[in-house]
Amino acid sequence: MTGFGARLAAAVDARGALCVGIDPHPGLLDAWGLPRDAEGLERFALTCVEALAGEIAVLKPQSAFFEAHGSRGVAVLERVIAEAGAAGALVLVDAKRGDIGSTMAAYAQAYLADGSPLAGDAVTLSPYLGFGSLEPALATAEATGRGVFVLALTSNPEGAQVQRARADGRSVAQAVVDAAAARNAGAVPMGSIGLVVGATLAETGVDLSALNGPILAPGVGAQGAGPADLARLFGAGRHVLPTSSRDVLRHGPDAGAVRAAALRLRDEVAATA
């Protein structure tokens, strides 16, 4: 069984370093001339799959926008996961789950277990009930060859209150980085526990040198970060996966225009790497 870290490295080698979010935000549905209902959601999401899944390394459906439409929306998310994967893209389900005990184990079964229609190739997790609370998800991901991306440093201003707080001589974010690095140690070409670090940050303030895993860097495009910010924040040689959503999706509803925008951004990222 090939682990997620190796599969992600292969996908980036073949398709370039870019993750595109599938975010059916109500404002984007409006811009595409689609109704704010499950039918509009489905047309939007499947157009994104058509446009991107054959070319882009990773697609990241934002679960909340699907859940907002109830069971019909979740059914669309399941279809997006299946069809994007069938077209060759890796699917990162952006669900940001985090809990304890049996509840965390249930989330792990939903998003990381074989046979679950909500299980893509990886899922985002929140560690702020303690990194150890993620153990059911980490164990399930390891057993099934899937990956996780753990929130470390987010770009929202409120995040610093928790993430940059200090305990035991290091920031909380550094403790998350260190815990992920310990789980990834020795993996080749890299481990399957990634971190989420916002591309719009002025600086990270953490040591990422031992991570040996991927970094998901949201915020490229509409949120203000550009490809040059990736090199400034992370340097060369790291497994950084920039992610963009609105800056690509605003080119819809034409699938060809969405695809062209994503490929332009991918090429800009490659040119500054």
Which of the residues are catalytic? 96
How far is the C-alpha of 124 from the C-alpha of 52, rounded, in Å?
20
The candidate with the shortest Cα–Cα distance to 188, out of 2, 6, 4, 17, is 6
Whole-number Å distance between alpha carbons of 33 and 188: 46
Distance CA 212, CA 222 (A): 29
Rounded to an integer, what distance in angstroms lies between the CA atom of residue 72 and that of residue 76? 6
**Helix (H/G/I), strand (E/B), else coil: 18:** coil
Determine contact, residues 90/80, Cβ cutoff 8 Å: no
Helix (H) / strand (E) containing 122: strand 122-125
Burial classification of residue 90, based on how many CB atoms lie within 10 Å of its CB (0-12 exposed, 13-18 middle, 19 or more buried): buried
